[in-house]
């Protein structure tokens, strides 16, 4: 079996593959103050919950955008599985030709998502990841990673708005029944869901105009489940895109 972990600023997504089949996917909260033993206990609890034998792992792979925690998670994984994790970074074989100013600066999550998108859905493609940040990555029809854009995530935007505007309440991120909100909560939900969906539609139009051809649009990330159905452009939603990408990258490097 293979243990895959995608560490974001808010959540760590966990996947277990047996051969090419995803046996489980789960999440735990990212906490910069937790020690390796605490993470080891959490990971062990998740695996036990799903009936996974920790002695059955032949490998593990990690992508991380939280550098201070990367070695912590790596040691936690080794404690419970006995395997040394491959960490996605410079020198990792991916099969993606990175055409940005400084390839070493490319986030591991963006690279992993691009690998899975290209292999599963082909090129050219545009990959949206809706998490703490909203990111978009562009792979052209020649398979070159061309770059993208980074924006504040929908959840972060709501938190910032509530913090700075004393009369605005906390809301759930879900689509209201109408765009024109008749009350404060509906208005905030309209902005958070329809506003972000409209931004994604507009950015996709601009990206395709700049490339000069149509693309396949893929979306991942927990918040994408609510946003994707409200976009006007055709979107493939794939919640496990990054776990699949990690599995693919592990196989490339194992060879």
The answer, yes or no, to whether residue 194 has pLDDT greater than 80, is yes
Per-residue pLDDT band at 165 (split at 50, 70, 90) = confident
Per-residue pLDDT band at 222 (split at 50, 70, 90) = confident
Pull the structure tokens for residue 104: 């070493």
Q: At what angle do helices 241-254 and 108-121 cross, to 10 degrees?
A: 90
Choosing from 6, 109, 129, 238, which is the catalytic residue? 109
Per-residue pLDDT band at 166 (split at 50, 70, 90) = confident
Query: Under CATH, which number does the domain 122-239 receive?
Result: 3.30.420.40
128-154 pLDDT tens trace: 999 999 999 999 999 999 999 999 999
Active site includes 109? Answer: yes
Cis peptide before 124 (omega within 30 of 0): yes
C-alpha to C-alpha distance for 21 and 13, rounded to whole angstroms: 16
Q: What is the pLDDT of residue 133?
A: 93
Pull the structure tokens for residue 242: 């990054």
| The CATH number of domain 2-87 is 1.10.1060.10 | no
C-alpha to C-alpha distance for 137 and 141, rounded to whole angstroms: 13
3-14 pLDDT tens trace: 999 999 999 999
Torsion, Cα of 228, 14, 91, 135 (10° steps):
20
- The percent of residues above 70 in pLDDT, for the chain, comes to 100
What is the average pLDDT across 220-244? Answer: 95
Q: Write down the mean pLDDT value for the chain.
A: 95
In the chain, domain spans: 2-87, 122-239
CB 246 within 8 A of CB 15: yes
C-alpha to C-alpha distance for 52 and 215, rounded to whole angstroms: 39
Neighbouring residues of 237: CB distance < 8 A, sequence distance ≥ 6: 218, 219, 220, 224, 225, 228
What is the average pLDDT across 48-53? Answer: 94
Per-residue pLDDT band at 254 (split at 50, 70, 90) = confident
The answer, yes or no, to whether residue 255 has pLDDT greater than 70, is no
Does the fold of domain 122-239 match that of domain 2-87?
A: yes
DSSP 3: E
The answer, yes or no, to whether residue 167 has pLDDT greater than 90, is no
């Amino acid at each position: 079996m293979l243990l895959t972990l995608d560490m974001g600023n808010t959540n760590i997504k966990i996947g277990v593959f047996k051969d090419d089949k995803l046996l489980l996917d789960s999440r735990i909260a990212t906490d910069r103050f937790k020690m390796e033993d605490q993470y080891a206990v959490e990971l062990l609890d998740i695996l036990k919950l799903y009936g996974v034998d920790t002695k059955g792992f032949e490998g593990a792979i990690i992508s991380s955008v939280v550098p201070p925690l990367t070695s912590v998670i790596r040691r936690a994984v080794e404690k419970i599985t006995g395997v040394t994790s491959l960490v996605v970074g410079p020198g990792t074989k991916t099969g993606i030709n990175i055409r940005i100013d400084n390839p070493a600066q490319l986030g591991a999550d963006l690279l992993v998502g691009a690998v899975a998108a290209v292999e599963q859905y082909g090129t050219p493609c545009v990959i949206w990841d809706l998490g703490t940040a909203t990111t978009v990555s562009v792979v052209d029809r020649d398979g070159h990673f061309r770059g993208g854009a980074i924006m504040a995530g929908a959840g972060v935007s709501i938190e910032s708005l509530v913090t700075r505007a004393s009369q605005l309440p906390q809301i759930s991120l879900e689509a209201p029944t109408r765009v024109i909100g008749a009350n404060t909560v509906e208005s905030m939900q309209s902005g958070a869901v329809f506003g972000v969906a409209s931004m994604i539609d507009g950015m996709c139009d601009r990206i395709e105009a700049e490339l000069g051809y149509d693309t396949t649009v893929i979306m991942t990330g927990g918040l994408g489940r609510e946003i994707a159905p409200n976009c006007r452009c055709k979107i493939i939603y794939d919640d496990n895109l990054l776990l699949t990408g990690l599995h693919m990258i592990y196989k490339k490097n194992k060879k």
